[in-house]
């Protein structure tokens, strides 16, 4: 065999697996997906001295080989050599948390039964030492019958020893072993047998007790911190405070870089316009590609900042505490605290939020969370809200230093959240009906987040986002450009060119449906390109009102133009529409991928449009009745 050996990194969640992966592979990682399932596949090149080079694959954390979620199923399938698109690993590198031995050892015993060469990294040994917990590695090795190496992944302790041991195992292996498959099948069977699992658990506890020379003081720091973060009164206040700071930062810090990206897009548009002669190619590049992709890429700073906070909260261990605090509220509408984390991500963008639902084990719980994720006010709605609020909501104080404009924005966010809770409540009793499986989650000890892990995580998110902008979004903006540009108006056209296009004709039809809720024909037309991404509605309105000049001038004068063109009830209805409307092809595409069917994105589209229509209608009618 000439292929680079494959080493699988496995372990319980919270054992420090990702830190070890980052420490071993550095930045040489590739993030992809397994074919057919939506589980992230992370692989990296691990090199050490003496020409030691292997491929290291970071498998999703799991407690056992009896999977409860798609992530866990991948781990099981890979170590058993049953995962499509993945070779069977040559060696398993299992990470255990030294401070949680009795629990993590059971999984080691299960892995050992697979018959593959196995190395155990006894991780976070420094934390064990701090707790005065003394573990005898030799005794562990004696009872487990596999090499055990103490490590501190975050400080790169023990890494050379792991490389040496793995390299030894690779040299010793005699390939291929026919016995392995039956061993895997047996191990698989045992993993599904509750009695066998409990037996294994007892054995693990017994081994842990034998190897633990001194019990020490368990997690004093974590318990003390929990006293504050989980306090019945202070805990929720702290959570609200953290969320407040987070959202402030997302909007305040992102302003400058967003303006820069915007400037760059305009600069590129001008460059292209200067170089290319007028014609369809220039229009495609300037109005289609650059305007469309630019409109999405401009949100990169906000997404990076939001993910910075989310990764920080996740790596520190706080996120589970937030889920704990939120579980009760989520339970009222039939969800669990676990759903809080993806929903929080959805405030940046529903796409990563929906991807984050993979950690929810219960399929109906997960589906409900996916369906309500688009109701969280994502950053793409902000430009729309900003323009309409600036045009129609007077900039005055309502007392206590609270501005009416800010209050309106807050009300829009709140409507989304309340709408999501109501939607979840209804969905859980109808479409996604089923028993709730409760809320069971390990609460890991607190840890200082590591800059390296944080930056690598951020880089991966940013890359996924940009890749999407370069593929799905690029393609959809080009299609929209086609719809908006063709057919060309006749020579004696007396109406804007848009009116003659395919999109314009669709808008005529739409206007009939949208008229009762106060939308005029210009709005109908703007809603079509806004299907690609919500914020496109703003630039589309600008185009429809045939304005010219650079982007800043567009939104400046657009505010004035709208003020003259729309009655207030129409503006309010437009805002209400955007709270609910599923105007984002990317969200629908990711829903299709995550649910593996067209049924759920179709349902999402239908129910959100229905909600948007009713909400806009009610707003328009009541505002009109009130004489606004």
Pairing of strands 118-123, 148-150: parallel
Taking CB under 8 A as the rule, does residue 102 contact another protein? yes
List the one residue out of 380, 382, 314, 310 whose CA is nearest residue 344: 310
Identify which range of 155-163, 214-222, 553-561, 604-612 contacts another protein by CB under 8 A.
214-222
Taking CB under 8 A as the rule, does residue 472 contact another protein? no
Residues 480 and 466: their CA atoms lie apart, in Å, by 20
Taking CB under 8 A as the rule, does residue 198 contact another protein? yes
Query: In angstroms, what is the minimal distance from the CB of 575 to another protein?
Result: 32
Residues 137-196 that bind another protein (CB under 8 A): 194
Count other C-beta atoms under 10 Å from residue 149's C-beta: 23
List the one residue out of 141, 126, 146, 162 whose CA is nearest residue 23: 162
Taking CB under 8 A as the rule, does residue 447 contact another protein? no
* Partners of 149 in the β-ladder: 121
List the one residue out of 158, 102, 19, 124 whose CA is nearest residue 445: 124
305 contact partners, CB below 8 Å, separation of at least 6: 249, 250, 253, 254
* Partners of 45 in the β-ladder: 55
Both tokens of residue 65?
């080989």
Taking CB under 8 A as the rule, does residue 369 contact another protein? no
For another protein, the closer of residues 67 and 150 by Cβ is: 67
Query: In angstroms, what is the minimal distance from the CB of 11 to another protein?
Result: 13
Tokens 């990317």 sit at which residue? 586
Query: In angstroms, what is the minimal distance from the CB of 138 to another protein?
Result: 21
Taking CB under 8 A as the rule, does residue 440 contact another protein? yes
248 contact partners, CB below 8 Å, separation of at least 6: none
Query: In angstroms, what is the minimal distance from the CB of 15 to another protein?
Result: 12
Query: In angstroms, what is the minimal distance from the CB of 157 to another protein?
Result: 22
CA 170 vs CA 122, 151, 365, 405, 521: distances in Å: 20, 20, 43, 65, 69
Identify which range of 101-109, 553-561, 572-580, 583-591 contacts another protein by CB under 8 A.
101-109
Query: In angstroms, what is the minimal distance from the CB of 297 to another protein?
Result: 38
Q: Per-residue x/- mask for another protein, residues 477 to 506, rule CB under 8 A? A: ------------------------------
Taking CB under 8 A as the rule, does residue 103 contact another protein? yes
Residues 225 and 231: their CA atoms lie apart, in Å, by 10
For another protein, the closer of residues 217 and 270 by Cβ is: 217
Cβ 283 vs Cβ 481: under 8 Å: yes
Query: In angstroms, what is the minimal distance from the CB of 64 to another protein?
Result: 5
Taking CB under 8 A as the rule, does residue 106 contact another protein? yes
For another protein, the closer of residues 74 and 384 by Cβ is: 74
Q: H or E segment at 415?
A: helix 404-429
Taking CB under 8 A as the rule, does residue 220 contact another protein? no
Both tokens of residue 276?
């290319």
Taking CB under 8 A as the rule, does residue 316 contact another protein? no
Taking CB under 8 A as the rule, does residue 392 contact another protein? no
Q: Total binding residues for another protein by CB under 8 A?
A: 47
- Residue from the set 112, 219, 364, 428 that interacts with another protein by CB under 8 A: 219
For another protein, the closer of residues 55 and 226 by Cβ is: 226
Residues 60 and 616: their CA atoms lie apart, in Å, by 43
Q: Per-residue x/- mask for another protein, residues 231 to 270, rule CB under 8 A? A: xxx-xx----------------------------------
Count other C-beta atoms under 10 Å from residue 274's C-beta: 8
Identify which range of 26-34, 376-384, 431-439, 573-581 contacts another protein by CB under 8 A.
431-439
Identify which range of 34-42, 139-147, 199-207, 417-425 contacts another protein by CB under 8 A.
199-207
Both tokens of residue 64?
């056992």
Taking CB under 8 A as the rule, does residue 337 contact another protein? yes
Identify which range of 269-277, 324-332, 496-504, 519-527 contacts another protein by CB under 8 A.
324-332
Helix segments in 230-317, DSSP class H: 234-275, 280-283, 291-297, 300-316
- Residue from the set 226, 314, 551, 594 that interacts with another protein by CB under 8 A: 226
Question: Longest C-alpha distance within the chain, in Å?
Answer: 92
Cβ 391 vs Cβ 624: under 8 Å: no
Query: In angstroms, what is the minimal distance from the CB of 364 to another protein?
Result: 12
Taking CB under 8 A as the rule, does residue 26 contact another protein? no
For another protein, the closer of residues 75 and 100 by Cβ is: 100
Query: In angstroms, what is the minimal distance from the CB of 65 to another protein?
Result: 11
Taking CB under 8 A as the rule, does residue 362 contact another protein? yes
φ, ψ for residue 132, nearest 5 deg: 60, 30
- Residue from the set 18, 83, 222, 570 that interacts with another protein by CB under 8 A: 222
Taking CB under 8 A as the rule, does residue 64 contact another protein? yes
Count other C-beta atoms under 10 Å from residue 506's C-beta: 15
Sheet containing strand 6-11, edge to edge, reads: 29-33, 40-48, 52-58, 6-11, 91-97, 118-123, 148-150
Count other C-beta atoms under 10 Å from residue 398's C-beta: 11
User: What does the binding site for another protein look like in residue numbers (CB under 8 A)?
Assistant: 63-64, 66, 68, 99-103, 106, 194, 197-198, 201-202, 205, 218-219, 222-223, 226-227, 230-233, 235-236, 320, 323-325, 327-329, 331, 337, 361-362, 435, 437-443
């Amino acid at each position: 065999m000439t292929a680079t050996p494959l080493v699988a990194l496995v372990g319980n969640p919270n054992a420090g697996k990702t830190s070890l992966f980052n420490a071993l592979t550095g930045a040489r990682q590739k993030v992809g997906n397994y074919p057919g399932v939506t589980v992230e596949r992370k692989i990296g090149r691990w090199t050490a001295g003496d020409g030691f080079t292997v491929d290291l694959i970071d498998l999703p954390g799991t407690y056992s080989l009896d999977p409860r979620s798609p992530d866990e199923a991948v781990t099981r399938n890979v170590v058993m050599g049953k995962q499509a698109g993945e070779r069977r690993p040559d060696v398993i590198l299992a990470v255990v948390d030294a401070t949680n031995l009795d629990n993590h050892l059971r999984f080691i015993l299960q892995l050992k039964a697979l018959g593959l060469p196995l190395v155990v990294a006894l991780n976070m040994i420094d934390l064990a030492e701090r707790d005065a917990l003394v573990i005898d590695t030799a005794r562990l090795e004696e009872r487990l019958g596999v090499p055990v190496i103490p490590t501190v992944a975050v400080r790169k302790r023990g890494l050379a020893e792991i490389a040496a041991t793995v390299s030894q195992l690779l040299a010793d292996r005699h390939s291929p072993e026919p016995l392995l498959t039956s061993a895997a099948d047996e191990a698989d069977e045992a993993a599904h047998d509750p009695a066998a699992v409990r037996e294994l658990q007892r054995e693990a506890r017994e081994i842990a007790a034998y190897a633990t020379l001194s019990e020490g003081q368990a997690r004093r720091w974590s318990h003390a911190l929990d006293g504050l973060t989980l306090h019945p009164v202070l805990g929720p206040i702290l959570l609200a405070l953290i969320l407040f700071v987070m959202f402030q930062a997302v909007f305040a810090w992102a302003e400058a870089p967003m303006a820069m990206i915007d400037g760059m897009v305009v600069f590129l548009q001008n460059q292209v316009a200067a170089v290319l002669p007028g014609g369809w190619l220039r229009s495609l590049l300037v109005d289609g590609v650059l305007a469309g992709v630019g409109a999405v890429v401009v949100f990169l700073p906000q997404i990076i900042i939001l993910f910075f906070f989310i990764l920080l909260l996740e790596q520190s261990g706080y996120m589970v505490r937030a889920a704990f605090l939120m579980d009760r509220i989520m339970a009222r509408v039939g969800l669990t605290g676990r759903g809080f984390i993806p929903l929080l991500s959805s405030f940046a963008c529903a796409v990563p939020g929906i991807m984050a639902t993979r950690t929810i084990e219960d399929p109906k719980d997960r589906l409900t969370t996916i369906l309500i994720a688009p109701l969280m006010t994502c950053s793409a709605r902000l430009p729309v809200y900003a323009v309409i609020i600036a045009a129609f909501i007077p900039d005055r104080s309502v007392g206590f230093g609270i501005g009416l404009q800010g209050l309106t924005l807050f009300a829009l966010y709140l409507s989304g959240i309340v709408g999501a809770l109501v939607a979840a409540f209804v969905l859980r009793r109808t479409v996604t009906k089923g028993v709730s499986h409760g809320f069971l989650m390990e609460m890991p000890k607190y840890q200082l987040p590591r800059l390296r892990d944080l930056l690598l995580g951020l880089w991966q998110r940013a890359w996924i986002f940009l890749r999407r902008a370069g593929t799905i979004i690029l393609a959809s903006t080009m299609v929209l450009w086609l719809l908006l540009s063709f057919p060309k108006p006749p020579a004696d056209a007396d109406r804007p060119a848009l009116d003659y296009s395919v999109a314009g004709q669709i808008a005529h039809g739409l206007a009939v449906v949208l008229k009762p809720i106060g939308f005029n024909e210009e709005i109908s037309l703007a809603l079509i390109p806004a299907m690609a991404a919500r914020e496109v509605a703003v630039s589309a309105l600008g185009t429809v009102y045939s304005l010219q000049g650079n982007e800043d001038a567009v939104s400046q004068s657009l505010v004035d133009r709208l003020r003259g063109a729309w009655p207030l009830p129409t503006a309010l209805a437009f805002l209400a529409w955007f709270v609910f409307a599923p105007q984002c092809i990317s969200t629908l595409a990711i829903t299709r991928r995550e649910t593996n069917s067209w049924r759920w994105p179709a349902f999402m589209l239908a129910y959100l449009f229905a909600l948007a229509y009713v909400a806009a209608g009610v707003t328009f009618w009541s505002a009109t009745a009130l004489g606004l």
